[in-house]
Amino acid sequence: MSKPPTVAAREAVRSFAPKLIDLTEKVVYGDVWERPGLSKRDRSLITCAALVAMNRTEQLRGHVARAIDNGVTKDEIVEVITHMAFYSGWPTAMSAANVAKDVLEKGETK
């Protein structure tokens, strides 16, 4: 089984920016994502929406896969992208839809 995309992406830059990866693992995923105030599923929905809004398609790829692993359905991901089209713009939603479609069709989850 291959590594989830978010882990693979971190490994790709670990030797170049080790402190950035250390902070990602310890603070972002070790602290922020583990806070009890929101479920991982809800955090995934919020993160996907934010990445769509900011047109961060490279990071969206891994977070769509993470969202599926955290219990978000394909239909919910599509709905988030559609909803965001009216807040972040049509081009950001179209780009996000292409990324999500690619991730889901390739089965890039755990």
Q: 């479609």: which residue's tokens?
A: 101
Looking at the predicted structure, is the pLDDT value of residue 32 above 80? Answer: yes
Q: What is the pLDDT of residue 107?
A: 84
Q: Using CB atoms within 10 A of its CB, is residue 36 exposed (0-12), middle (13-18) or buried (19+)?
A: exposed
Q: What is the pTM for the complete model shown?
A: 0.88
Mean pLDDT of 58-73: 96
Mean pLDDT of 56-63: 95
Q: 């929905």: which residue's tokens?
A: 45
The number of distinct structural domains making up the chain is 1
Domain CATH for 50:
1.20.1290.10
Give the range of the structural domain holding residue 24, as residue numbers without chain letter.
5-106
Find the helix packing angle between 5-13 and 57-69, rounded to 10°.
Answer: 140
